[in-house]
A = this chain, B = another copy of it.
Amino acid sequence: MYVVLKESATSEEILELKKFIQKTGHGALEILDGSIKKIGIMGKKDGLTKEELKEFSIVKETIKIGKPFKFVSREFKKEDTLIEIKGRKIGGTDLILMAGPCSIENKEMIMDIAKVVKENGGEFLRGGAFKPRTSPYDFQGLGEEGLKYMREACDKYDLVMVTEVMDTRDIELIEKYTDIFQVGARNMQNFSLLKELGKTNKPILLKRGLSATIREFLMAAEYIVAFGNEKVILCERGIRTFEIATRNTVDINGVALLKEKSHLPIIIDASHGTGKKSLVEPVTLGCILAGADGAMVEIHQNPACALSDGEQSLNFQEFEILCKKMKKTLEFKESLKCL
């Protein structure tokens, strides 16, 4: 359920209403949908009644949300959500290109990459310090050391840091360093992790699970919002199908459908989505045009020598070209809206 507020509502009145909602054990999510103020009432089903809410004079309407995913849906909020982080806006017309290596291997490499990202207009540095690896015998990441290197690189080049968290116990540590938490595909339904991240204040990049339906994906996002953090960025990174010529199958239908069903920003990760560097550019650009707000790519000084995911990483030159084409594609997409 949510309430639509009258335009005349003052801050004091809104605060009073929110306190009332919270006192009944519900969450109160205040948003601005275009020029309309709304408050989402989250939590227990058998909680507040229409009548109780209507007693507040600033309440114009109370509306039930039909969908199982509620506060991430367009039913709740019609306008696209913009997530601001360190002056960048995710979900609008800015170039959002999160780039970096699969794993941080050492300080020099992350410094070099950060420089290249910045020079080409990328504003986000991604990289793994804690790595989910299929085999216990594979390189598991540098841990806190990796976080430190990344932070240093981001500070030096004024980049926004994105890194993965895999364990509720690591949230506190990682929060000291990162700007955006990433939840990996394998943890999309790690509900303990989602709940804890819902209690933090930083944007969450939520990757779609390998066999998660669009509905489950949005429900996972709903978990984070329901526990208090509405800054969720969705990331399509390919689903698992019978096709073996590519590592995964990027769901372009899903990208377009997410844009239709949800107000949250969407990012496309064609590196994992295709698993082949030659496909990263066409698939990234195609998904941007189909609705994605930004992209994530793996880049590496020397892809052939990467400790992980080398065959899907772009080299610096390929990255430069992708940046240029992506900027053009974002402009072109904007121009189509006027037709």
On whether the beta carbons of B257 and A245 are closer than 8 Å, the reply is yes
The complex places the Cα of A45 from the Cα of B209 at a distance, in Å, of 31
Docked complex: A281-327 residues within 8 A CB-CB of B: 282-283, 285-291, 321, 324-325
Given contacts A189-B134, A256-B282, whether A213 and B249 have CB atoms under 8 Å apart is: no
Report chain B residues within 8 Å CB of A251. Answer: 241, 243, 249-250
**Binary per-residue interface labels of chain A (161-179) against chain B in the complex, 1 for a CB within 8 Å, 0 otherwise:** 0000011111000000000
The complex places the Cα of A252 from the Cα of B239 at a distance, in Å, of 12
Report chain B residues within 8 Å CB of A242. Answer: 211, 213, 239-242
Q: Which of A29-37, A49-57, A83-91, A218-226 is found at the contact surface with chain B?
A: A218-226
Q: Which of A118-126, A142-150, A272-280 is found at the contact surface with chain B?
A: A272-280
Q: How far is the CB of A78 from chain B (nearest CB, A)?
A: 15
Residue A62 interfacial (CB < 8 Å):
no
Residue of B193, B238, B243, B329 touching A239 (CB-CB under 8 A): B243
User: Contact size class for A?
Assistant: 35 or more
Q: Which chain B residue lies CB-closest to A253?
A: B246
Q: How far is the CB of A339 from chain B (nearest CB, A)?
A: 5
On whether the beta carbons of A257 and B279 are closer than 8 Å, the reply is yes
Q: Which chain B residue lies CB-closest to A187?
A: B190
Docked complex: A159-212 residues within 8 A CB-CB of B: 166-170, 186-187, 189-193, 195, 209-211
Pairs across A and B, CB under 8 Å, 17 listed: A70-B137, A133-B191, A134-B189, A136-B222, A167-B192, A214-B246, A242-B242, A243-B253, A245-B254, A250-B251, A252-B252, A285-B289, A286-B291, A289-B329, A321-B339, A325-B336, A329-B336
